[in-house]
Chains A and B, each alone.
Chain A
């Protein structure tokens, strides 16, 4: 994936995060957009880009919402590497598999941030909250939906539709 496209995806994630955050319906759509971008870059199999993208995405997220800058950057850089390994070494596909991988990644993100917050800010360790699970589920569902949309044969579908109309 080209650097320009990665930058565009990161900008889109930041805009979506703020857009959804300002909306009164935010509780229904707590998707981790920055994790989705990291996963999309990791999917291309480029370790360096995935790690760097994860670090930048995490830094943006930290700047907006965390007391210490670097916690999400740390977590997402690790997850970028791990997701690239999964993408390159483990041969599996489909929306469900991608959704499940993102669900696990989101929980892992939560756990790493909780651990860092406990170590650096002496915060109590809070990981498996209802909010965290819902966020992981929403991220998994969004990732699965994107994967389905990505693999859907849109051109064939459009041509079949046109043919049906002509008949």
Chain B
């Protein structure tokens, strides 16, 4: 790093003044953090709900362009491979690609939606498919920003899934976008059931990209490869959606086994997810929250 140039004023380089500003900002941060009261109807914090609503148009716009560019990159790679086979077709597509840039992105999106909805017909209460705008991993917290909000009927607590398995649940709802907690989050948990033996447990994210199945007694016959699915006992997730497969079983504490689970959904490749209807318990909770806040 270069030393500060001579034009920088003495006051600006004064660390005491900077220190005073730092302390002020840190105190403000602590106040903001501690003042984040739950919003009406359990929609997450009021502050974050506002931020999400305000940033919805920008996020949707940039997300659309990014999706379009990604689609174009993928298409260009495909065309490059096919070039040797059919030069004439490639030229035609190249010429039209600029004209149809936006249309193609939209078509790709709707095709993905159709594919997801078709494949997800086995899942209970599918409301629709929503795009993922941002996937964030920070300090064990694993969350996604999805491109749908209260205007599209997203409710807090709505589960998210892909045809392969459960992904997470919506925690904060803005008007056009919402934030969801992934199952891999270190503080996420879901009621789970081993499909073969019917035993119930709690699946938790370990914050490192894997899942742990807790509360399985040492007498259990759970084995590697067993399917783990949602049990529908937590009041959030519906019953029977695949969560993952048992990766390893080890002796944990005296009473319970330590069961590690590999998630069924490929979290590194999420681009669109299916929004499932929130469970009746979640709806009732949200309505009770709304009436209490009135």
Contact = CB atoms under 8 A, between A and B. Distances in A.
B62 interface: yes
Contacts of B110: none
Contact of B137 (A18, A22, A70, A132): A132
Given A92-B1, A126-B139, A44 B8 contact: yes
B21 interface: yes
Nearest to B267: A27
Contacts of A46: 8, 12-13, 18
A153 interface: no
Interface in A96-118: 97-98, 101, 110-111, 113-114, 116-117
Contacts of A67: 44-45, 48, 141, 143, 171-172, 179, 181
Contact of A65 (B13, B15, B134, B271): B134
A48 to B, nearest CB: 5
Contacts, number: 214
Interface in A41-77: 43-52, 55, 62-74, 77
Given A66-B141, A69-B33, A126-B139, A88 B22 contact: no
A149 interface: no
A50 B18 contact: yes
A5 to B, nearest CB: 14
B4 A88 contact: yes
B292 interface: no
B260 to A, nearest CB: 16
B251 to A, nearest CB: 22
Query: Looking at chain A's contact residues, is the secondary structure mostly helix, strand, loop, or mixed?
Result: helix
B132 interface: yes
A84 B167 CA distance: 41
Interface residues of B, number: 66
Number of chain A interface residues as a range = 35 or more
A160 interface: no
A62 B138 CA distance: 11
A130 interface: yes
A131 B131 CA distance: 22
A101 B26 CA distance: 22
A93 B1 contact: yes
A8 B181 CA distance: 30
A124 B47 CA distance: 24
B96 interface: no
A19 B1 contact: no
B69 A23 contact: yes
A1 to B, nearest CB: 10
Interface of B: 1-5, 8, 12-15, 17-19, 21-22, 25-26, 28-30, 32-34, 36, 44-45, 47-48, 51-52, 55, 58-59, 62-63, 65-67, 69-70, 131-141, 143, 145, 171-172, 179, 181, 186-187, 206-209, 268-269, 271
- For the complex of A and B, list the 9 residue pairs with the smallest distance between their C-beta atoms, beginning with the closest: A47-B18, A126-B140, A45-B4, A21-B134, A114-B139, A65-B136, A63-B51, A126-B207, A22-B66
17 contacts: A22-B131, A23-B70, A45-B5, A47-B19, A48-B17, A63-B48, A67-B171, A69-B45, A77-B25, A117-B139, A122-B187, A123-B139, A123-B141, A123-B187, A124-B186, A126-B140, A131-B137
